[in-house]
Amino acid sequence: MSAPAEIADSDDPLPPEAGPRSSSVTMACESFAVDGRQSPRQWHIPEEEPVALVYNRRSFAVMLASPADLLDFGLGFTLAEGIVENLAEIGEVTVERLEAGLAVSMTIPSVRAAALVGRRRAMEGRSGCGICGLENLEAVLAPVGRVAAPTVAPEAIGAALAELSRHQPGRTLNRSVHAAAWAGRDGRIRMAREDVGRHCALDKLIGAMARDGIASEGGFAVLSSRCSLELVQKAARAGIGLLVSVSAPTTLAIATARRAGMVLGAQGEEGEVVIF
């Protein structure tokens, strides 16, 4: 998988390759124990900012996301939303801070940009939802292509779920952000990304995998959240055939996954692995 033609970072103090995988600020608060004792505390609050996804100088969507790994976010969103078919179609990528937030600007073929006119998101995407702003039901339920589900032992899935917390430094600090991780067939986690939005975390993971040339056939994705429709759609577009989540998937997620040939896994009680 080839890299984008050119990637240019701005002078913003939050370059996408630097710093922790999710960003936070320290704020003062008060802690109240069950026995009534009160004490001052410092809490790490996750940052959340509007991030515009801009194609050929035209804004397509504004998502609320953690201002870290924004290069991965832009690339992964573009691939996971089916805006382009592969990484080679993405040209120059820039990340810059604007007065109202941040922008990830990308150049794509004109025919791809023209196709976006009819599917522009009319409102900002909240951090809790990956489909906000789509204009009709047909757009929400758009079919995805078939993918091949890898053969992975349940023990490997359980090992990845058990290891996931060790790849969530942001959550360790603030108990707020979600993670999306990539594990090999042996269940060992190779990389992870965090974000206040579960779908944004998956976008970042997909972007990071594309930049590193990691083949989606060689493992599976692990999510710290529940598995819903838009996460299945994004994973399918990225060629991910096995999607595992800490919480159980929804009925629509299961139905969509089955039509795509995907397998869904979830963490059950007392460490058991449930397959859908």
Active site residues: 129
147, two tokens = 């993918």
One-letter amino acid identity for 202? L
Question: DSSP class of residue 150?
Answer: P
- The Cα 173–Cα 94 span in angstroms is 29
184 φ/ψ angles, rounded to the nearest 5 degrees: -75, 175
Q: How far apart are the first and last CA of the chain?
A: 31
- The Cα 227–Cα 210 span in angstroms is 22
- The Cα 41–Cα 28 span in angstroms is 6
DSSP string, 168-206: -HHHHHHS--EEEEEEETTS-EEEEEEESSHHHHHHHHH
Residue 52 contacts residue 61 (beta carbons within 8 Å) = yes
Instruction: Provide CB contacts within 8 A for 11, sequence distance 6+.
Output: none
Q: List helix spans (H) across 96-190.
A: 110-115, 137-140, 154-163, 169-174
> Angle at CA 117, nearest 5°, toward 116 and 122?
95
Residue 130 contacts residue 204 (beta carbons within 8 Å) = no
